[in-house]
Amino acid sequence: MCRVLCLLALLCVVSSPALAFDVGERIRLEATKPSGVPLHREAKSSMFGRAPTGSEGVVRETANKGRWNKVVLDDGRNAWIIDKYLRAASGSSSSPTSPATSVASDSERKVWSSPSECRQVVEAGGRFDTSEDQLRIATWNIRWFPEESTDLEWLSCALAWLNADIIAVQEITATRGAHSAMESVTDGLTGYVGGDWKLDLHGCGRDDGQHVGFLWNADKVSMSNFEDRWRMNGAAANGNGSDCDGSLRPGRSAYASVAGGIDFHLVSVHLDSGVNDRDYGHRKTSIERIGKMHGALQATVSDADVLVLGDYNTMGTNSVAAGTEIREFREKVGSLATPHVALAPDLECSEYFEGKCGLLDHFVLSKTLADEEGRSAKAVVTGYCKVEGGKDLDRRNMPDAYKKLSDHCPVVISLQSTDQD
């Protein structure tokens, strides 16, 4: 009798359905052997490593009726894992450091699919957001603007749909041809949404080099007190003419104010790119200096509200996973003498390289701006990154938006436009 009951119990276990995990759900790994959980490169037998029990991550894709799950682990590794090793993480299905993936709307897909479909959406009144009481701020690295492949008409349409009042920009060249190209873009933007669009870039370095700065609608927001911030160049030793040392970029700061409403400091940044220890060291130096820069900003306008946004290039190194660098970055800005908060976006993907997506673009808010003023800011990724959901792509057949706009995607936050301090 015991043998029959045991056999029936075993059959029940074997025939139980596969565990189902949703895309965006936070999970914990549970190994069946001391060596750890097998990690596969594809949704088939293709093991490349193991992870220990207790490791956590977020499900990004599923395959074969949920039996295979592509997981982004907190240590930065991407792997396909059989469902039997996955358990729902304690607490909730998502966490502040690994938020759930959101899905692009139909109009969003059209905007980032082609110039003609973008025009169709924007001319019909489609926008990323139309809330009247919100100040929308975006950051977008517009790859080596203007590259020969840059579609200026599509860019003006995409910016119109973005409906941001201020865009921190990176990789903008400052040649005469670049200024002419930007004038074409802002004319197109004005044709769609109106406004008086201005551009300001950092001052040091060669005109044909990459610059950071701001594009903004002067009819909506006033920008003043522009200044290069050498501390955001990790290779710069001091402020005595070294702002562009190492052929890198300083931050570019400005003071933003809305008539009768919100006001705060902004700094557009583009930290050192690369996976060598020196590049990583420069990035860490820049981040460690945010607190001191906060103090320097107060010397221009006494306002503790500060937003430092842009391309932080949190790509990891040859020995440090990207996910580890992102965690270190978030922890560091939270432990500065003047505490700040690095917002976790709705999709941990803002730039594609060789078909794989990484999170490089971030918003860092002073605690006063993040908490004391009661603004529940949320970072939202859009662009082709959102359309593709952060999944791996064929690097030989990348989307048109990647080819004709940028490898990066815009990230947006909205702040209550009425002042609370």
Write down the pLDDT at residue 96.
34
Helix/strand/coil (H/E/C) assignment for every residue in 255-274? EEECCCCCEEEEEEEECCCC
What is the C-alpha radius of gyration for the chain, rounded to an integer number of angstroms?
Answer: 23
Give the span between the Cα atoms of 118 and 65, in whole angstroms. 35
Query: What pairs with residue 270 in β-bridges?
Result: 311
Rounded-to-10 torsion of CA 126, 129, 133, 134: -140
Residue type for position 341 = V
Write down the pLDDT at residue 178.
98
Write down the pLDDT at residue 13.
39
Mean pLDDT of 197-221: 97
- 3-class DSSP state of 1: coil
pLDDT digits (tens, 9 = 90+) for 76-122: 688 999 999 999 886 433 333 333 346 788 999 999 999 999 999 99
Rounded-to-10 torsion of CA 399, 401, 406, 408: -70
pLDDT digits (tens, 9 = 90+) for 28-86: 899 888 888 999 988 888 888 898 988 888 888 888 888 899 988 877 688 999 999 99
**Helix runs in 194-319, H state only:** 277-288, 290-298
Write down the pLDDT at residue 85.
93
Alpha carbon 289 to its chain centroid, in Å, reads: 21
Length of the chain equals: 421
- CB distance 173 to 145 below 8 Å: yes
Write down the pLDDT at residue 354.
95
Give the span between the Cα atoms of 235 and 14, in whole angstroms. 59
| Nearest to 120, CA basis, from 111, 129, 128 | 111
Phi-psi region of 342 (alpha: psi -120 to 50; beta: other; left: phi over 0): beta
Instruction: Output 78 or 291, whichever has higher pLDDT.
Output: 291
Give the span between the Cα atoms of 245 and 320, in whole angstroms. 25
Domains and CATH numbers, the chain: 19-88 (2.30.30.40), 106-416 (3.60.10.10)
Which helix H or strand E contains 323, and what residues bound it? Answer: helix 322-334
User: What share of the chain in percent tops pLDDT 90?
Assistant: 71
- Residue 392 DSSP code: -
Strand order in the sheet with 306-311: 222-229, 251-257, 263-270, 306-311, 361-366, 340-342
pLDDT digits (tens, 9 = 90+) for 394-405: 999 999 999 999
Write down the pLDDT at residue 8.
43
Instruction: Output 131 or 303, whichever has higher pLDDT.
Output: 303
Instruction: Output 90 or 214, whichever has higher pLDDT.
Output: 214
Could you tell me which residues come within 8 angstroms of residue 388 by beta carbon, excluding any fewer than 6 positions away?
Answer: 357, 399
Instruction: Output 375 or 400, whichever has higher pLDDT.
Output: 400
Write down the pLDDT at residue 421.
58
pLDDT surpasses 60 at 2? no
Q: Mean pLDDT score of the chain, rounded to an integer? A: 89
